[in-house]
């Protein structure tokens, strides 16, 4: 096990390129299951989640080859697929649940272990299961597995009580090969959903309404393999934008889509940053101490919950007091105690956090409870006096491949080292 050692005082400057979105590529890999033959996905980030999904697909009978220099993954899907996704893989990555819809519609049955993932709150699968029942499946929770069966799925009207990204993806992938017409109302609108729809359309699916709250799907008899480039990772891009403002730096982010970060970039402009949109991304520069800015997380196109840790860290060193509200995951504030160990003044009450800014933070040992909190703690360490060590960085590696290397290229003093606290003391 490793940790990051971060020495404070750096002003991040330079250019950084964003890779494909982790939250999209895993679903694109699952979508490949819908078409026998060879599909290739490019702009694939080099992280552990992609390897876990690759192994899951292999166990289902697929051939999977990763080309790291080319950032591609090639998936050879057989005519006859397995239908069981085992616990030892699914527990390590919640996105594994996205194979449920494709396996059910391809094989007539799917046994998928109940997933694990980041400890950021309850994320029940009721919407996935209820939607599949509407499509004609029988779905049970048996011995730690979701067991779904259907001789033939049929189109239906589905209303989601919450615009769940995962449920939208699973139901969409099941509906494209179902018989007849399906309407998913209150569907998620995230760019990753639009990306999935684009790949499905390339495969021959008939889907309308991507990017809106209503998806209409006309089932087809079969799909064909395709080649598709993953959408840029808006959360990683937003993290670099926040890091530029926090460290009073100047970062140009390439291979990014500013339209996917409208509210986040507007918040940075409000706190005093210079924000310039460019053809292949954007630039964020900050000359002075940022001003406090309120933030409220909501499903897309609202302020992304995955950027909440960075918003808290930014306000921790801002001038003034801010209110940050979390409306998506009830346990997203779990890492606040770690940020307060660095000297932040953050008090939480339910899904609200009051952040009183301080001129600087103070280095200390902290631990990353999840992907985004880990990134936020590393960046907070850059504006802390002295040295900060961030443990449990396997979380960070899942969402930010080469994070320490990119930080060093921007001028940070960050090293990866063995975590001595994980070894017994003689």
Catalytic residue among 49, 111, 118, 306: 118
Structure token digits, residue 317: 């060193």
Q: How far apart are CA 311 and CA 74, in angstroms?
A: 37
CA 36: distance to chain centroid?
A: 27
What is the per-residue pLDDT for 145? Answer: 86
Judge contact between 97 and 90, C-beta under 8 A. Answer: yes
d(CA 66, CA 47): 11
Sign, CA torsion 375/378/380/382:
negative
Q: Given this model, what pLDDT does residue 118 score?
A: 40
Fold match between 2-18+232-422 and 22-229? yes
Q: What is the DSSP string of 66-128?
A: EETTTTEEEEEE-SS---EE-HHHHTT-GGGGGGHHHHHHHHSEEEEEPP---SSS----HHH
**% of the chain surpassing 90 pLDDT:** 85
State residue 405 phi and psi, 5-degree precision. Answer: -65, -45
pLDDT for residue 119: 41
Residues 190, 231: Cα–Cα separation, whole Å: 11
Q: How many CB atoms lie within 10 A of CB 209?
A: 16
pLDDT in tens, 60-89: 999 999 999 999 999 999 999 999 888 777
- Both tokens of residue 323? 């209110």
Q: Looking at domain 2-18+232-422, which of 3.30.910.20, 1.10.10.10, 1.10.287.70, 3.65.10.10 is its CATH number?
A: 3.65.10.10
Give residue-wise pLDDT tens across range 134-186: 999 999 988 888 899 999 999 999 999 999 999 999 999 999 999 999 999 99
22-229 has CATH 3.30.1360.30 classification: no
pLDDT (tens digit, 9 = 90+) per residue, 174-212?
999 999 999 999 999 999 999 999 999 999 999 999 999
**pLDDT band of 94, cuts 50, 70, 90:** confident
For residue 399, count CB atoms less than 10 angstroms from its CB and return exposed for 0-12, middle for 13-18, buried for 19 or more: buried
Q: Comparing 31-35, 123-127, 180-184, 203-207, which segment has the lowest mean pLDDT?
A: 123-127
Taking all residues of the chain, what is their mean pLDDT, rounded to a whole number? 93
Q: Which of these ranges, 122-126, 272-276, 317-321, 355-359, has the smallest mean pLDDT?
A: 122-126
Provide the whole-model pTM. 0.94
Does the annotation count 118 as an active-site position? yes
Taking the C-alpha atoms of residue 176 and residue 203, their distance in angstroms, rounded to an integer, is 10
Secondary structure (DSSP) of 119-137: SSS----HHHHHHHHHTT-
Residue pair 395/370 in contact by the 8 Å Cβ criterion: yes
- C-alpha 81/C-alpha 371 separation (Å) is 32
Say if CB 235 and CB 399 are below 8 A apart. Answer: yes
Where exactly are the structural domains of the chain? 2-18+232-422, 22-229
Distance CA 101, CA 117 (A): 19
The pLDDT value recorded for residue 328 is 86
Q: What is the mean pLDDT of residues 289-307?
A: 96
Cα distance between residue 121 and residue 330, in whole Å: 5
Packing angle between helix 165-175 and helix 100-107, nearest 10 degrees?
20
């Amino acid at each position: 096990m490793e940790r990051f050692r971060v020495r404070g005082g750096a002003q991040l400057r330079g250019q950084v390129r964003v890779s494909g979105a982790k939250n999209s590529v895993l679903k694109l890999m699952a979508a490949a299951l819908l078409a026998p033959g060879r599909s290739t996905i490019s702009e694939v980030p080099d992280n552990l989640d992609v390897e876990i999904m690759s192994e899951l697909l292999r166990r289902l009978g697929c051939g999977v080859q990763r080309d790291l220099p080319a950032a591609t993954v090639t998936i050879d899907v057989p005519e006859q697929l397995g239908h069981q996704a085992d616990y030892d893989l699914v527990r390590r990555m919640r996105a594994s649940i996205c194979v449920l819809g494709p396996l059910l519609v391809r094989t007539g049955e799917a046994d998928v272990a109940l997933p694990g993932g980041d400890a950021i709150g309850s994320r029940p699968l009721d919407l996935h299961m209820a939607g599949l029942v509407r499509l004609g499946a029988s779905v049970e929770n048996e011995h730690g597995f979701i067991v779904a069966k259907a001789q033939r799925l049929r189109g239906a009207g589905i209303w989601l009580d919450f615009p769940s990204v995962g449920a939208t993806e699973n139901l969409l992938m099941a509906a494209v090969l179902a018989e007849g017409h399906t309407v998913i109302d209150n569907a998620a609108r995230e760019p990753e959903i639009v990306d999935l729809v684009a790949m499905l359309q390339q495969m021959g699916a008939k889907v309308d309404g991507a990017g809106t709250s209503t998806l209409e799907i006309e089932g087809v008899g079969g799909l064909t393999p395709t080649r598709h480039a993953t959408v840029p990772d808006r959360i990683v891009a937003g993290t670099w934008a926040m890091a530029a403002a926090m460290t009073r730096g100047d970062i140009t982010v390439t291979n990014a889509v500013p339209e996917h970060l409208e509210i986040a970039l507007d918040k940075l402009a409000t706190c005093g940053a210079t924000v310039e949109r460019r053809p292949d991304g954007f630039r964020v520069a900050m000359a002075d101490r940022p001003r406090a800015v309120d933030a409220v997380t909501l499903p897309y196109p609202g302020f992304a919950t995955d950027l909440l840790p960075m918003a808290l860290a930014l306000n921790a060193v801002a001038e003034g007091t801010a209110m940050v509200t979390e409306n998506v995951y009830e346990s997203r504030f779990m890492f606040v105690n770690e940020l307060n160990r660095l000297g932040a003044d953050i008090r939480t009450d339910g899904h609200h956090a009051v952040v009183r800014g301080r001129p600087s933070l103070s280095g200390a040992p902290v631990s990353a409870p999840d992907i985004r909190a880990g990134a936020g703690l590393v960046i907070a360490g850059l504006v802390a006096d002295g040295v900060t060590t961030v443990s449990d960085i396997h979380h960070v590696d899942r969402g930010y491949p080469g994070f320490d290397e990119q930080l060093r290229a921007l001028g940070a003093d960050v090293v990866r080292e063995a975590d001595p606290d994980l070894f017994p003391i003689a």
